[in-house]
Chain A
Amino acid sequence: MKREEWDKKLGTCKERNFEFTTVSGLPTKVVYTPDDITGFEHDRDLGYPGEFPYVRGVYTNMYRGRLWTMRQFSGFGTPRDTNKRYKYLLKHGQTGLSVAFDFPTLYGRDSDDSFSRGEVGKCGVAVDSLRDMEILFSGIPLDRISTSMTINPPAAMLLAMYIAVGEKQGVPPRVLTGTIQNDMLKEYQAQKTWIYPPKPSMRIITDILKYCSEKVPRWNTISISGYHIREAGSTALQELAFTLKNGFTYVEHGMAAGLPVDKFAPRLSFFFNAHLDFFEEIAKYRAARRIWAHMMREKFNAQDPRSFLMRFHTQTAGCTLTAQQPENNIMRTAYQALSAVLGGTQSLHTNSMDETYALPTEKAVKIALRTQQLLAYETGVAHTIDPLGGSYYVEALTNELEKGANEYFEKIDRLGGVIPAIEKGFFQKEISRSAYKYQKALEKHDKYHVGVNIFEEEEKPGIEILKIPPEVERYQIRQLRKLRKERNNRRVKEALGLLRKAARDGGNLMPRILDCVREYTTLGEMCSTLKEEFDVYHEPIIF
């Protein structure tokens, strides 16, 4: 049958009264054909897995060689509570650790800071000093596990604490593997945990890049994150474009600080969201790999193929979980996880069904972990690489997202680059508008969310919830005060003085932070010292 004839036939079919667009609003055709990917050249546009431009995956045999790392983001209460949870997850087959810190730690404040009131141990684990970090990783050999830490303004301090724990375990820094998020650009844009203004923040980041390229060579120094941009309400395209543009900005800053690109680019990694729209997400990961590879080779003249690789972690979308009928979140998460695996992720966190209420219970997190294990061991989806490669739809969507991202890159360049665009509120406005638009679409029933605006039920969910008792805060403050009495305060003062001096003189901050950490200087003491030198950030208020 000819296309015209088929189109005519299609015209006679009754269509559901619904706007067929991706969750991000891209129009979706009824069917995709070779006409949608005209000019497609396999070797140029896709290539083989592990080969330029890496659309199909960053490694030659992908999951046949090694499955993705199953890494549940986890942390609550005291370091002891979280250490117990880590051991539970490892016992049940988790293959990497991922630390969730509480808000005071994320903002570099101690547990007894007035701003920390009510927040200690609540949405992550409280870490005030090396002592807490020692407890957090006690009985966990750092030479045999990789650890990801979601930490941004105080990333240098937490990395230093991890290095110091390694030293105590007899594990040298060159052996340590893991990731610090350390992505401040997306903080100003979306996640909003900041301390210092962009300029000193970028300086701390380049100090870390320099230090790690010498001393901690297997560490992923920045996890360039789209996750939070998406959670804050962006579309898939905005997530893709803003994240990659942030990535290029780090590369530019690293090079401007005198580092050869191939010295640090291979240690940059990425972190994406796995949202509701199955194919759009897969296309997003594929497009990201192609864009990164081309830019690294052609714009930044990287020579080492490892600099071309966009390796990424994925987390299923927390913002898509529903408080209504919470068990449905198990299925929602499973589809999202599948998109991440088909998209070639290097590691994965699956959300737990109860996370619209609190941090997950042991039971809920185990189901979430089992969801990944089921994908890996039962479904066969990991047997072959990029099984959707060559799909007319997925290739067309991959191309469309790549084109859209390039348009955003130009727009951001016209604003003077990422940092000036942050200062003008560009990203913040783009994200807020998308979030509001999506909410309106839900309320008009242009988009559906099961249990929220379709198939609603009256029932009150009766699922079990994890509670963080107020004693956690009191305990943590007691321990902190004890530590301040027991340590050598003269040496703490000296170490802080040298940190301040480095901040002023422009020396690399990492060795000075490590010295502070070894003396059990608290996170709040280090961050306050730098705050006095670097000032604090105030954001433009936009809604």
Chain B
Amino acid sequence: MYKKIRVLVGKPGLDGHDRGAKVVAAALRDAGMEVVYTGLHQTCESIVEAAVQEDVDIIGLSILSGAHMTIFSRILKLLKAKKAIDILVIGGGIIPDDDMKRLQRMGVRKLFGPGTPTSEIVDWIKANAGKSKKRPAKKTRRTRRAPKKSTK
């Protein structure tokens, strides 16, 4: 049965630059995917929680604050703890080349730099989503509500 690709677009940490995340979220939606956009200022915990609950195929994180090394490694660790490593982690933002290589070695599947056409992101997701899914597919939820904000 045809199932829509489900993507969580997340803005972790304090970074308020949401232009890229919103443009990508809109492009993925227009490409026929189910998009959950978290909104700003999410903790890594709330992003992983939402990703598992929403049964997404992909987590896409946008980070322009320079905190990418800390945040991606935390997300990967939390996914592992939740036994949800079949959710692919991708991202974009202001990330120097060296850091991109380190992050990819760590397990981030794909990073898209500034200037990437949204069509390239759509194509990559279509080619890769769902391939490593091991968990039984849950019933697709219709909700697009963002996870509850956790602000200290």
Contact = CB atoms under 8 A, between A and B. Distances in A.
A445 to B, nearest CB: 11
Given A192-B16, A319-B19, A117 B152 contact: no
B25 A543 contact: yes
Given A113-B152, A123-B65, A538-B149, 8 more contacts: A103-B67, A123-B66, A193-B16, A323-B115, A432-B23, A432-B26, A452-B115, A543-B26
Nearest to A118: B70
Interface of B: 9, 13-19, 21-23, 25-27, 29, 35, 37-41, 43, 64-67, 69-71, 94, 96-98, 113-115, 117-119, 146, 149, 151-152
A170 B10 CA distance: 48
A536 interface: yes
30 contacts: A103-B13, A103-B65, A106-B14, A114-B152, A115-B14, A115-B41, A118-B67, A118-B69, A118-B70, A122-B67, A191-B16, A192-B40, A231-B19, A232-B18, A323-B113, A324-B115, A358-B66, A432-B23, A435-B19, A435-B22, A439-B23, A439-B27, A439-B118, A443-B118, A465-B96, A468-B66, A538-B149, A538-B151, A539-B40, A543-B29
Given A118-B70, A322-B114, A543-B37, A357 B96 contact: yes
A232 B39 contact: no
Question: Which 7 pairs across A and B sit closest by C-beta, in order of nearness?
Answer: A118-B70, A192-B16, A122-B66, A118-B67, A103-B14, A543-B22, A452-B115
B39 A443 contact: no
Contacts of B97: 357, 460-461
A478 interface: no
Interface of A: 103-104, 106-107, 109, 113-119, 122-123, 191-193, 231-233, 319, 321-324, 356-359, 432, 435-436, 439, 442-443, 449, 451-453, 460-461, 465, 467-468, 536, 538-539, 541-543
B16 A323 contact: no
A518 to B, nearest CB: 26
A323 B114 contact: yes
Nearest to B73: A118
A443 B115 CA distance: 10
Contacts of A538: 149, 151
Given A449-B115, A465-B96, A192 B65 contact: no
A119 B67 contact: yes
A542 B145 CA distance: 11
A119 B16 contact: no
Contact of B39 (A324, A357, A539): A539
Interface centre among B19, B38, B65, B151 (most CB of A within 10 A): B19
Nearest to A231: B19
Contacts of B37: 541, 543
A435 B146 CA distance: 22
A232 B26 contact: no
A284 B66 CA distance: 32
Contacts of A119: 13-15, 65-67, 70
A35 B114 CA distance: 43
Contacts of B35: 543
Contacts of A357: 94, 96-97
A322 to B, nearest CB: 6
A443 B119 contact: yes
A541 B145 CA distance: 9
Given A192-B40, A432-B22, A468-B66, A118 B13 contact: yes
A9 B71 CA distance: 62
A461 B100 CA distance: 14
Contacts of B27: 436, 439
Nearest to B40: A192
B149 to A, nearest CB: 6
A119 B65 CA distance: 7
A356 B114 contact: yes
Contacts of B16: 191-193
Contact of B14 (A116, A232, A324, A539): A116
Contacts of B117: 442-443, 453
Query: Which among B35, B66, B114 has the greatest number of chain A C-beta atoms within 10 A?
Result: B66
B143 to A, nearest CB: 13
Contact of A233 (B19, B71, B118): B19
Contact of B26 (A116, A436, A452): A436
Contacts of B65: 103, 119, 122-123
B16 to A, nearest CB: 3
A541 B146 contact: yes
B145 to A, nearest CB: 8
Contacts of A356: 94, 114
Contact of A103 (B15, B19, B113, B118): B15
A232 to B, nearest CB: 5
A432 to B, nearest CB: 5
A232 B19 contact: yes
A539 B41 CA distance: 11
Contact of A436 (B17, B23, B119, B152): B23
Given A324-B115, A436-B23, A538-B149, A107 B14 contact: yes
A298 B118 CA distance: 47
A76 to B, nearest CB: 9
